[in-house]
Amino acid sequence: MTDRDVDYERAFSCYVERFEHGFGKKPAGAFVKFGKHMVQRLAEPDFRARLDRYLALHQACKRMIETGSTISDALVLDFVESAAWVAVEAPNMYTMFRGELGDPRLAAPTRKPTWEDVGHTEVELPRDRKP
């Protein structure tokens, strides 16, 4: 997303709505706790830089997921904090990676369980095999 794609005036208006909905009317510069982060109510001139940082980190995290890269804890923490500054709840990046690693049993299959392990007392052979 480039600067030309962002309607900063509308984005700031939406930010003010989100902020006031979550924290009530506060003057610019007032601190609030958003999740684990202390953030300030931003004035319009300060908002653009914070929004640009959020968008850059969002793009970096998106690339990380799309390419299957290793999770960068520092990047995730920066992304979550940048989202808090623009009053957006960041998704849990760690849960987004669940299932991306595949099943480790493909490379390291488990031993065939014994009949006692699976609770069977009778042996059932597959139909396409003969004893």
The answer to the question of residue 51 being in a domain is yes
The answer to the question of residue 25 being in a domain is yes
The answer to the question of residue 113 being in a domain is no
70 has a pLDDT exceeding 80: no
The answer to the question of residue 91 being in a domain is yes
40 and 112 in contact (C-beta within 8 Å)? no
pLDDT tens readout for residues 75-110: 889 989 999 999 988 877 766 655 444 444 444 444
How many C-alpha atoms does 103 have within 13 Å on its Cβ side? Answer: 4
Mean pLDDT of 16-26: 94
The answer to the question of residue 95 being in a domain is yes
Least-confidence region, from 40-54, 60-74, 96-110: 96-110
The answer to the question of residue 110 being in a domain is no
Question: Which structural domain range is residue 85 located in?
Answer: 3-102
The answer to the question of residue 123 being in a domain is no
Looking at the 3D structure of the chain, how many domains does it have?
1
> When comparing pLDDT for 57 and 70, which is higher?
57
Report the alpha-carbon distance of residue 6 to residue 18 in Å, rounded: 18
| DSSP symbol at 10 | H
The answer to the question of residue 130 being in a domain is no
Cross-strand pairs, 38? 33
Mean pLDDT of the chain: 77
